[in-house]
Amino acid sequence: MMTDERKGTPKHESTPLIIRLFPFMRKHLGKYLGLFVMSIITAIIGILPAFFLQVAIDAVTVSHDMSVITVIIWLMILYGVMGGLLGFFSTYLREYLGNKIVMDMRVKLYSHVNELSFSFFDMTRTGDVMARVMQDVAQIQMYATIGILTLATNLATLAGVVAILFSWNPIIGSIFLIDIPFILIGMRSFSRRVAPANARIRKANGIISASIQDCLNGIREVKLYGREEFMLGVFDKWNDEYFNSVIDSNKQHAFWMPYVPFVVSASSAIVMLVGGLLVVSAVYTPGLLIATIAYFTQLAAPLRHVTKFLGLHTIAKAAAARIFEILDQKPAIADSPGAVPLENVEGHVQYEHVTFHYHEGHDILKDITLDIPPGKIVAFVGPSGVGKTTMLHLLPRFYDVAKGHVRIDGRDVRECTLESLRKRVAIVMQDTFLFDGTFADNIAFGKPNATKEEIVHAASVARLNQFIESLPQKYKTMIGERGVFLSGGQAQRLALARVIITDPKVLILDEPTANVDAVTDKEIMDAVRETMKGRTTLVIAHRLWTIQHADMIVLLKDGRIDAKGSHQELLDTSEFYREFFASQLRSEKDRANAMDSQEISNS
Ligand SMILES: Nc1ncnc2c1ncn2[C@@H]1O[C@H](COP(=O)(O)OP(=O)(O)O)[C@@H](O)[C@H]1O
Ligand SMILES: [Mg+2]
């Protein structure tokens, strides 16, 4: 479940749906008004035939007058034309509005998701977010157009019919009113039963999307460990749940559908009886009786539609709850009031009594204090899971400290605008995400307006230019499914190029060579060394090479700085460091041996 410390009370549960949707509808009020007017005219047109029927029948049976029939015929023709035109315009407008609202909502959701902080993504499954952006939003469309407008048409029809019946005869008019409590009770029980089923449908739908996503992303692991059946099992389970809840929901609909005609036909029988008596006693004409019966039969449809609207409403409400659950989330990390842009950065980095936890009560970093002068290279070493990555993620404010300060050039990062901060601090991670696009697009990702020269320069510094130039389409070559695939080393050099082009003052390297084979190592190291020039570099060291190039080494242990100093100082003073160093040395020797034997077998 998604939570956020700043989420507050969930608004969507208490606020009526229509009010929550209003901001999306407001922009189109004029069109809505047009549609509304058309709905009312549609209702009036729908009421007319039975009225014509009454006039025609009474004209021929009571006053034996054919001229009225001619008029009625012309009116019927006009009626057909009007109905056609209205049908065209209202369908067009309805589709326009519905799709527009869906589009606006998707864009809003998408941009909101983009603004949310890492803590949101830590707790949310991608597939579930996708289901919300795609399917749940689509559920709103029906409600915001067909739903609301058929409601208008049908309520107007109901009101019109009841008014006509009353004007003809108050007794007959009031027979209809007997139906109302029965319908209301039915509606209430219907919506009570169908709402939970709809919430289950939406939830199952989200989980199904998420598990498809998981399976596709992890397909290698799934196959490697032979877990196809297990994955299918999970998928099956939620598909079952989806199926069952859809059936549950439809059961309610199926029960409701005949309920309304039943109530209406029961009252029709009474009308027939009372109407018959009225005709016999000559209070009512035969035309009136026939028209009354026609109206009563006609009442079933709008009543059923009104309740169908209820169905749409509960579906839309369940979907909206999931949509607004995201929209109501405030980014945990945002510009503080009065934040100022970070300018002319020298790259002085300080951690001051920094404490941090992902979850209350589980401190990952405990009272860390560290001063890194501009332009220095600091290597972080320590056991896996000790908090090295976490510590460096505090610098660009992926997360905020619980206590203490992280400063750049003396200013707390929380006082800087996020945009300026993240422009000055760059990260190269273990794995680099490559976007569907060309080399040029991917290198210039952080600086879309970069010139060709800048792109080529960045690629050259990153030792990638030669490779790109060797491709037929050079910088316009697509990366990924529609183009070339990059090796781990090439991807990491692309990541370096991406950093170089934005020219950050502070560079974070989070084991950039961890997933790279030894053969490409040297090229990466050259690229890394070039990239570090003139920047303060915080590097999570994986290789001895990096450690030996560092001005200072920081040894983390149990969430604290265990020791810091030069390589030699640490060798002299820290038993823990000596052990670490020895183990690194061993693994590098192994790798070197592996490389030698590879070369031998190649030659
Ligand atoms: N997003 C996260 N949410 C919760 N816990 C996390 C998150 N990222 C890392 N951790 C935990 O914080 C600790 C430190 O992780 P990390 O900083 O990645 O260590 P290192 O980089 O030193 O291997 C680990 O126990 C890890 O499980
Ligand atoms: Mg790490």
- What residues have CB less than 8 Å from 568, skipping those under 6 apart? none
Looking at residue 4, its pLDDT comes to 41
Probe residue for ligand 1, chosen from 333, 355, 358 as the CB with the greatest number of ligand atoms within 8 Å: 358
Distance from C-alpha of 591 to C-alpha of 603, rounded to nearest angstrom: 18
**556 Cα nearest atom in ligand 1:** 22
Looking at residue 301, its pLDDT comes to 78
Looking at residue 603, its pLDDT comes to 46
Cα separations in angstroms, 407 against 82, 165, 395, 401, 404: 71, 78, 8, 11, 10
**390 Cα nearest atom in ligand 1:** 17
DSSP labels for 236-278?
Answer: HHHHHHHHHHHHHHHHHHHHHHHHHHHHHHHHHHHHHHHHHHH
Better pLDDT: 358 or 7: 358
Better pLDDT: 165 or 590: 165
Distance from C-alpha of 65 to C-alpha of 368, rounded to nearest angstrom: 101
Looking at residue 520, its pLDDT comes to 55
Average pLDDT of the residues of the chain: 84
- What residues have CB less than 8 Å from 121, skipping those under 6 apart? none
Distance from C-alpha of 35 to C-alpha of 97, rounded to nearest angstrom: 10
Only one residue has tokens 């009560």, namely 361
Evaluate if residue 80 carries a pLDDT over 60.
yes
Q: What's the rounded mean pLDDT across residues 350-373?
A: 92
Q: Which residues line ligand 1 (CB under 6 A)?
A: 122, 358, 364, 384-390
pLDDT tens-digit map of 240-284:
999 999 999 888 888 877 888 788 888 888 888 888 898 898 888
Helix (H, G, I), strand (E, B) or coil at 78: helix
Please list all protein residues whose beta carbon sits less than 5 angstroms from ligand 2, which is an ion: 389
Evaluate if residue 73 carries a pLDDT over 70.
yes
Which of 417-421, 511-515, 566-570, 594-598 reaches the highest mean pLDDT? 417-421
Ligand 1 atom 14: residue of nearest CA: 387
Evaluate if residue 514 carries a pLDDT over 70.
no
Probe residue for ligand 1, chosen from 360, 362, 389 as the CB with the greatest number of ligand atoms within 8 Å: 389
Looking at residue 252, its pLDDT comes to 84
Q: What's the rounded mean pLDDT across residues 376-380?
A: 91
Better pLDDT: 353 or 486: 353
Q: What's the rounded mean pLDDT across residues 27-46?
A: 87
Looking at residue 463, its pLDDT comes to 84
**pLDDT class for 1, splitting at 50, 70, 90?**
very low
pLDDT tens-digit map of 181-209:
888 888 888 878 888 888 898 889 888 88
**pLDDT class for 341, splitting at 50, 70, 90?**
very high
Could you give all domains of the chain from N- to C-terminal order, each with its CATH number?
A: 20-327 (1.20.1560.10), 349-602 (3.40.50.300)
Probe residue for ligand 1, chosen from 364, 365, 398, 561 as the CB with the greatest number of ligand atoms within 8 Å: 364
Looking at residue 506, its pLDDT comes to 93
Looking at residue 314, its pLDDT comes to 82
Lowest average pLDDT, out of 15-29, 382-396, 513-527, goes to 513-527
Looking at residue 7, its pLDDT comes to 41
